[in-house]
Amino acid sequence: MSETAPNRPVEGVLWMLATGLCFVAVTGLVRYMGTGLPAAESAFLRFVFGSLLLAPVLVRVARTGLPQGSARLFALRGVLHSIATLLWFYAMARLPVAEVTAIGYLNPIVVTVGAALLLGEKLAARRITAILIALLGALVILRPGLRELSSGHLAQLSAAIFFGVSYLIAKRLSALAPATEVVAIMSLSVALGLLLPALAVWVTPDRTQIAILLLVTLLATTAHYCMTRAFAAAPVAVTQPVVFLQLVWATLLGVAAFGEPVDIFVLAGGGMIICAISYITWREAQIRRSPLTPPPEAAKL
């Protein structure tokens, strides 16, 4: 008997809307912290708190052990996600909120290309065209040659690549272990992976910084929960366009909280990328195969 596809579009859109608002709040909080704590330390503490939040799941895994054949994949994902998270925290402290959000939209494009290169996924001409449009959107955002690209831009572009490959491995792991275990082990492995880099640059955090990172952890966890509910309520092709609103919220947050000017190039480039992602997702739904292209949120903190 075939599985019934979810068909509650309004509910799905509302859950995805909540997802975007939570992730924008996460971005804003990290932007507010700025460079007060080194990126390695901020990322390390975020995942330590996440591991504590998921401690019951980790205890269960410790008792039952890892699924056969998954240890290397978990270790590899931990390394990749550690690097991605470190780069993201570095970029977030140095770039406008909207710009980080728009560049982050490249995550699904990385997944699509990576699936073709690593998993043998076929790329039809129309999907290749969508990828090229997304890359053009990235060029619109970055405007190389018209302005100087900072270390923050390079860090966020690199983070998109590492997050994308991490998501591909997560897709493989989802066939071996429950989603809660995949998330919990990722959280612990990233905390362990960032331990030495964090100690190397350690600055004693104050109460405000600790409180902000705790709130970041809670909001990120809530965002992933809301995203899961959105997927359960409606097809990804329905909820995907809502993701673009996250760029609107990020722009408004940047203007209101940090006095960042509205950059029409960032909005235009982000729109191009999200349109390309939406088309790829729609095509996957049309040919009725298992969706591979994630929303940008799926590869986030």
Q: What is the mean pLDDT of residues 170-195?
A: 90
- Give the number of other CB atoms < 10 A from CB of residue 136: 14
Can you give the pLDDT at residue 266? 95
Q: What is the mean pLDDT of residues 61-85?
A: 93
Check: CB of residue 189 under 8 Å from CB of residue 61. Answer: no
Can you give the pLDDT at residue 127? 86
Does the structure show a pLDDT above 60 at 20?
Answer: yes
Confidence of residue 201 (pLDDT cuts 50, 70, 90): very high
| Structure token digits, residue 259 | 């006095």
Domain residue ranges in the chain: 38-210+263-299
Range scoring the smallest mean pLDDT among 156-165, 180-189, 231-240, 242-251: 231-240
42 or 170, which is more confident:
42
Can you give the pLDDT at residue 296? 65
Q: Which residues contact 83 (CB under 8 A, 6 or more apart)?
A: 158, 162
243 or 9, which is more confident:
9
Tell me the one-letter amino acid at 120: G
Q: Tell me which residue of 245, 200, 171, 214 sits closest to 13, measured CA to CA.
A: 245
Distance CA 295, CA 48 (A): 25
What is the tens place of the pLDDT at every residue in 134-157?
999 999 999 998 888 999 999 999
Can you give the pLDDT at residue 1? 40
237 or 138, which is more confident:
138
CA dihedral angle for residue 246, residue 45, residue 165, residue 152, rounded to 10 degrees: 60
Q: What is the mean pLDDT of residues 27-54?
A: 94
Q: Tell me which residue of 232, 248, 236, 212 sits closest to 296, measured CA to CA.
A: 236
47 or 126, which is more confident:
47
Q: What is the mean pLDDT of residues 172-200?
A: 92
Can you give the pLDDT at residue 264? 95
Q: Tell me which residue of 291, 83, 298, 55 sits closest to 188, measured CA to CA.
A: 55
107 or 4, which is more confident:
107
Range scoring the smallest mean pLDDT among 135-139, 235-239, 247-251, 274-278: 235-239
Confidence of residue 53 (pLDDT cuts 50, 70, 90): very high
16 CB-side CA count, 13 A: 28
Can you give the pLDDT at residue 190? 95
Q: What is the mean pLDDT of residues 39-47?
A: 95
Can you give the pLDDT at residue 40? 95
Distance CA 60, CA 80 (A): 24
Q: Which residues contact 166 (CB under 8 A, 6 or more apart)?
A: 77, 80, 81, 84, 299
Q: What is the mean pLDDT of residues 19-32?
A: 92
Q: Which residues contact 154 (CB under 8 A, 6 or more apart)?
A: none
